[in-house]
Each structure stands twice: as structure tokens, then as C-alpha cells.
Amino acid sequence: MSIAANAARHLATAVTAAVRGCAAALLPQNCLLCAAPGGDNLLCAACQAALPRLSAERCPLCALPAPGSNICGGCLGKAPHFDATQAVFSYEFPVDSLIHALKYAHRLAAAEFLGRALAQLPAPLHPDLIVPVPLAAARLAERGFNQALEIARPLARALGVPLEIRHIHRCRDTTSQAGLPLKERAKNMRHAFECELDLTGKTVLLVDDVMTSGATLDELARTLKAHGAARVENRVLARALKS
């Protein structure tokens, strides 16, 4: 074999190995939760089936459990600025571990899996745009990506709706409000977002990984409605049933 042919063969072998390595990194071989063979899925079929899905009877506005799917007491007392919320899972084990994986490891595989779960919810009324809840610039720089955007991508593809990630900003980092009482959270969120768009008459779909008190989504919906949005719906992966 000529030297050139030999070199080409070595190069081809190296490229094949590199491609295999990348594919293995993208597609975990074992279930993230129980280590059983998961094929090209993040989770094995048994773990997928055991994920904590929300009960069917939920408040249409905030997605908390509500008998007969009536508007819950909290929303009747003080209506949120958003018009509807859909959530896939309740925020408990092992969904919290999956969301942790999305933020800190297995990012691509977890985003694809969780984004597809979001896309499987019944389609909302033709949103004009999808807005992943923005992170503050400092938080984005620290993490390197916005997990809400990662899970919104497969959803935007599935619905054929544009993603808006340039003109709506979070001006303050309000992500660490876990220690604050509910009322303080709402106050802490005031004016956390900025919008440079005229959204007159538009329907906007907000996407986030976890909804806890709902204060973040409420303030973002308030901001977008102040810029003309006619309707704002939320689609979240996990709904915390206690805040």
C-alpha cells in the first residue's frame, strides 16, 4: 500500500473513532436513573413510564391540582397575568434529577428528551412566538446556556413557531428567591424583565423548566402584556405543587 493510501486509511479510522465518540457522548447508553440499557433514550422505558405526571384535574390558569379543573382559589383571589399553564410533570423525584442533569450534565440528551415531552402536550392556540424565560446576563455567562431555551428548541421545531431570544431580557438575577416568602417573591420580581418588541395582538407561549410560585412567569406575562400581547400561555416541564 502506498504511503498516501496508508495515511488516508489511518485518517479514516481516526475520523470514525471521533464520530463514534461524539455519538456516544450525545446518546447515553444507559438509563440516567437506573442504569438499565436505554438504547438511544435518556431513560429506559420503565423509568419513562414511572415519571410523576400531573393529575388530569388542574386549574387551567396555574396548573395546580383543582377538582373538576375549575379555576383554583388562589387564581380566583388574584388572577395571574398569564392566561393558561400547561405542565408535564409534578416537580418531585426523579424529575428534579432530570432537570438537574439538564443544567449540569448530559445537557444535550436531557434537553432533547425533556423538550420532546413538552412538545407532546396538546398544542395551544397558534402562538405567534415562543419565549423561553430569559436568564440574567451574569447567570447566563456563568452557566453558558439557558436551560429554558434548550427545552424550547425541540418544541419550537415541533410547532413550527419562531423562538424569540433577542428582544426580551431579564435585567436582574432573580433566580435565587427560594428563601423568600411568597409575597416577597412577587415584589422581588417587579420590573425584572424588559421587552423591546411591540407585541400588539400577539399570542405568546412562555417556556420554562420549573414553575414554583409562578412569580417569574407572572411578571414576564405582565411585561409582555404591557407591550401589547393579547394572550400569554405557559408551558413548563415541572410544576411544584408546594412553593
Applying CB under 5 A, the residues found at the interface with Zn ion are 31, 33-34, 36, 44, 47, 59, 61-62, 72, 75
Rounded to the nearest 5 degrees, what angle is found at the Cα of 230, between the Cα atoms of 167 and 75? 105
Closest distance between Zn ion and the C-beta of residue 108, in Å?
Answer: 19
Closest distance between Zn ion and the C-beta of residue 62, in Å?
Answer: 3
CA distances in angstroms from 205 to 39, 177, 231, listed in the order given: 32, 24, 9
Judged by CB, which is closer to Zn ion: 36, or 137? Answer: 36
**CA-based nearest residue to 236, from 220, 219, 212, 215:** 212
Task: Please say whether the beta carbons of 233 and 206 come within 8 A.
Answer: yes
Closest distance between Zn ion and the C-beta of residue 109, in Å?
Answer: 14
Judged by CB, which is closer to Zn ion: 118, or 211? Answer: 211
**Which residue(s) pair with 87 in the sheet?**
236
Cα 3 to Cα 222: distance, rounded to the nearest angstrom: 68
Closest distance between Zn ion and the C-beta of residue 1, in Å?
Answer: 47
Judged by CB, which is closer to Zn ion: 59, or 119? Answer: 59
Task: Please say whether the beta carbons of 134 and 206 come within 8 A.
Answer: no
Judged by CB, which is closer to Zn ion: 90, or 227? Answer: 90
Judged by CB, which is closer to Zn ion: 47, or 156? Answer: 47
What is the DSSP code (8-state) at residue 181? -
Closest distance between Zn ion and the C-beta of residue 210, in Å?
Answer: 17
